[in-house]
Amino acid sequence: MADLKEETTVDNNDSNPVEETVETRKPIDPNLQGVQLYYEKNKKMVNYVGGGLLLIIGVFCYFKFYYLPEQEKEAVNEIFWAENLFQKDSFAMALKGGSMVMSADGQKQMKGFEQIAEEYGMTQTGNLANYYAGVCYLHTGKFEQAIEFLGKYSGNDETIAPIAIGAIGDCHMELSHVDDAIKYYSKAADKSKSVFTGPLYLKKAAFANELKGNYSEALNIYERIQKEFPRSAESQDIEKLIARVKSLGNL
């Protein structure tokens, strides 16, 4: 007689139950309208976007009201030493820094305009350091570097901005880029509101035009100086200059 196998009935209900999670959404109130209705339909997206905007606003506020003011304060303290050297015509030292100075925190190595411009470029003082660095390079005969730094200066100061542009013109004249020099001298003169720098850059533009043989244009500029800036230093010999270009150009 064959052995009978004992059948075992396994009750699936006695095994570990599998929990099913069913997300239940609360029905939207049919009485909602406008913004409230839109929010209920798009709650997740609105919360994500809102959180992102709050984060951006927080970062902006920190950057504008804390980080930048602190950077500006540091830059002002650093540029003090370089400006003193600049006023003494110590252009190489003012540019590169390196000398030991005594600060409120003790003795330290000063930073030059070049380093200040690099480290504090987002501040007004860092921007000003670009101008100073460019002028230092101009005085030390490194005209390409001077153009680079002067070109980075983006201020609108009525005194400094025209001088920075005019200094780029000076660099191009030294490099024999006369056309570029004329362009920057003219731009500096147009931007200047000063009776000192305006006629100065007009006269430089006129002289550069003479070098190019543009005597008619040089004459127009000299006559402009005579008319607009009759009391300036540049107008003292203006009649001789006018007579010269008329003769040279048969005008």
The ranges assigned to domains in the chain are 44-154, 156-251
Alpha-carbon distance of 54 to 15, in angstroms, equals: 49
Helices 143-152 and 124-139, packing angle to 10 deg: 160
Domain 156-251 has CATH 3.30.70.360: no
Contact 39, 46 (CB under 8 A): yes
- pLDDT for res 215: 97
Confirm if 133 and 117 have CB atoms less than 8 A apart.
Answer: yes
For residue 102, what are the β-bridge partners? 107
Each residue's pLDDT, cut to its tens digit, for the chain (251 residues) gives 444 444 444 444 444 544 444 445 555 544 444 545 555 556 666 566 666 666 677 655 644 655 567 889 988 999 999 999 999 999 999 999 988 777 777 788 899 999 999 999 899 999 999 999 999 999 999 999 999 999 999 988 889 999 999 999 999 999 999 999 999 999 999 999 889 999 999 999 999 999 999 999 999 999 999 999 999 999 999 999 999 999 999 98
C-beta of residue 229 within 8 angstroms of C-beta of residue 235: yes
CA–CA separation, 113 vs 92, rounded Å? 10
Alpha helix positions (H), 22-67 = 34-41, 43-62
pTM listed for this prediction: 0.76
Q: Residue 30, Cβ neighbours under 10 Å: how many?
A: 7
| Phi, psi (deg, nearest 5) at residue 204 | -65, -40
**At residue 222, what are phi and psi to the nearest 5 degrees?**
-60, -40
d(CA 251, CA 249): 5
Q: Could you give the C-alpha distances from 130 to 104, 105, 124, 149, 154, in angstroms and in order?
A: 26, 26, 10, 5, 9
